[in-house]
Amino acid sequence: MKSKYIFGGVIVTVFLSLMIYLFTQSNIQYESDFQKVMEKERVVKATGSWVKEKSYKIDNENRTFTFYMSDDKGHQMKVIYDGSIPNNFEIATSMVVTGQYKDGYFHAKDILTKCPSKYQDQPSEAAAL
């Protein structure tokens, strides 16, 4: 009978520990100032845009994708993503990279691109008539 209570206590403890861990991991801050991103020693979601003048590099052998991002203030940082280029990367108007800045560049674990909306202000055919 006591073993059932001990087993139940272990299950509850594991469950609570898992919930606390997941809650602390989802507390990632968005940051649009790359100077602050470079100072933080934890995972952040950095927002900015691709610096098209510096192009990008795809390394198929190491499965990495490297590019430069710029924030609203003009600060730039090198981003290395362990994965392939996102589908909409070249037409993206902005992006959010999740990861951490260390060793002189941003180590991205995830890239989310924001593409131009097909519903933005477009002249209608009726207005042209």
Is residue 81 predicted with pLDDT exceeding 60?
Answer: yes
CA dihedral 28, 33, 36, 37 (to 10 degrees): 50
Would residue 33 count as lying in a domain? yes
pLDDT classification of 124: cutoffs 50, 70, 90: low
Would residue 12 count as lying in a domain? no
Would residue 21 count as lying in a domain? no
The answer to whether 23 and 17 are in contact (CB under 8 A) is: no
Overall average pLDDT of the 104-122 stretch: 81
- Distance in angstroms (rounded) separating the CA atoms of residues 72 and 95: 12
Would residue 74 count as lying in a domain? yes
Q: What is the CATH number of the domain that holds 89?
A: 2.40.50.140
Within its chain, how far is the Cα of 110 from the centroid? 4
Would residue 110 count as lying in a domain? yes
pLDDT classification of 122: cutoffs 50, 70, 90: low
- Distance in angstroms (rounded) separating the CA atoms of residues 49 and 70: 5
Is residue 117 predicted with pLDDT exceeding 80?
Answer: no
Question: 95 is in which domain, residue-wise?
Answer: 26-114
Overall average pLDDT of the 36-57 stretch: 91
Cα-Cα-Cα-Cα dihedral sign, residues 46, 50, 51, 54: positive
Would residue 10 count as lying in a domain? no
> Which tens digit of pLDDT belongs to each residue from 7-18?
888 888 888 887
Number of domains in the chain: 1
Q: What is the pLDDT of residue 59?
A: 92
Would residue 69 count as lying in a domain? yes
Element (H, E) at 109: strand 105-114
Is residue 128 predicted with pLDDT exceeding 60?
Answer: no
Would residue 15 count as lying in a domain? no
